[in-house]
Amino acid sequence: MKIEINNNSDESHKYHCNVLPCRIKYTGEVQSPLLKPETGYWEVTQDQDNKVTTYFRGRLLQGNLVTLDSNYKGYILRQQVEKDEEQEKEINGKKFVNIGEFEKLVIFDNGMEFNGESENLIEEWLNVSNIIHE
């Protein structure tokens, strides 16, 4: 299998990512003022220990702000599906377009107290990255 990543533009947008403890099955565009951070719908508080607190759909979320090491770069990718028009099946391999980058992200957990279980995801991602790039 071949994986190809294309940078769509000369300048990539910078984003701040949030990893939420939920599954959202819809992957399309959403035109809603409720999802724009500037509307005040998504209010976040942060203390001096980088602990972050917010509410999503009425549920308390607590998390940690994680800053990537300078050795790593975070990318937000969108998969492009290409089909062979004659045989109407997907072409072998995957193509992705870079739509943005991030240097920081917040990993949230449910509940009253952040237990850090989700933070293991970052360690796993970095381990996989090291294996891929060896």
User: pLDDT tens digits, residue range 39-87?
Assistant: 556 778 888 887 888 887 788 888 888 888 888 888 888 887 766 666 5
* E-assigned strand segments in the chain: 3-7, 14-19, 45-46, 51-56, 59-67, 74-80, 83-84, 89-90, 94-110
Residues in the chain: 134
CB contact burial 63-90 (16+ within 10 A = b; e otherwise): bbebeeeeeeeeeeeeeeeeeeeeeeee
52 SS3 class = strand
Mean pLDDT across 86-97: 66
- Give the model's pLDDT for residue 41: 60
Q: Is the pLDDT of residue 90 over 60?
A: no
Strand partners, 13: none
Contacts of residue 85, defined as CB under 8 A and 6 or more positions apart, other chains included, come to: none
Residue-range domain boundaries for the chain? 3-132
Element at 129 (helix H, strand E): helix 120-132
Written as six digits, the tokens of 107 are 């990993």
- Give the model's pLDDT for residue 103: 92
Of residues 50 and 105, which shows the higher confidence score?
A: 105
Percent of the chain whose predicted confidence (pLDDT) is above 90:
1
- Give the model's pLDDT for residue 8: 61
Q: Is the pTM of this model over 0.85?
A: no
The 8 Å CB, 24+ separation contacts for 119-123 are: 119/64, 119/66, 121/19, 122/66
Of residues 42 and 10, which shows the higher confidence score?
A: 42
CB 108 within 8 A of CB 21: yes
Q: Which CATH architecture has domain 3-132?
A: Beta Barrel (2.40)
